[in-house]
Structure 1
């Protein structure tokens, strides 16, 4: 079921994803961390952020994929502050973020114009989490700096 939900997410097929979710509920499937993560991801990628949040908060267990999906979903749909708030909760949950997490965090900063916060997290990923920036991280920084009119620094 996780694979089918993932396919719905990649196709943007919200209606089919909802039908599968209803099927799971009607047939009393256990929504484990894998199925739950796939549901969160599917709803977020299909634009149903509210439903994604409902599923996310109902999950008993959350893995990093689930956290990354909800942070990215919030960021992409204009809820950058909420995405950053959830990122702060990852630390409290003792879940170690990865490079994908930081792409979502930097994206949230981009969508909300938080240049200084983006700088802080960009430096933190190396210093605090031992994650080397990849081209995607640099791209996020170039994007946010350019949007803020700081073209020399972006360069």
Structure 2
């Protein structure tokens, strides 16, 4: 499948109609307004949204990513990677990851990292097939107002 990869930003017409619905499908807790608030703030912090379009211009996948300076070295961190369910197993996610690897190398990154849910076995199989390794566990704790934390 031939794909065109394009970086889109909040305010681009295709951002609302292509990127937004796919990210919101991955993150169902975000409504349209919440997504736009998140995307605008995150974009100002360096988050890049790379969309994969087919020959008809339909958005089939999105990767959001950023370069981070960490104590482990310079990383390309993938915040979200999502493919339209109708296009899964057609090479969209693999094409996006290939592009991200190349961008990471050009940016001087030593590694590409991402998180996935512990119950998202399909994504885990995909990342293993992409020769990615499980190198850490990601722990989290809800803070709420901060008053309920011991």
Greater relative contact order (CA < 8 Å, ≥ 6 in sequence)? 2
The structure that is strand-richer by fraction is 2
> TM-score of the superposition, structure 2-length normalised?
0.31
Higher helix share: 1
TM-score normalized with structure 1 length = 0.30
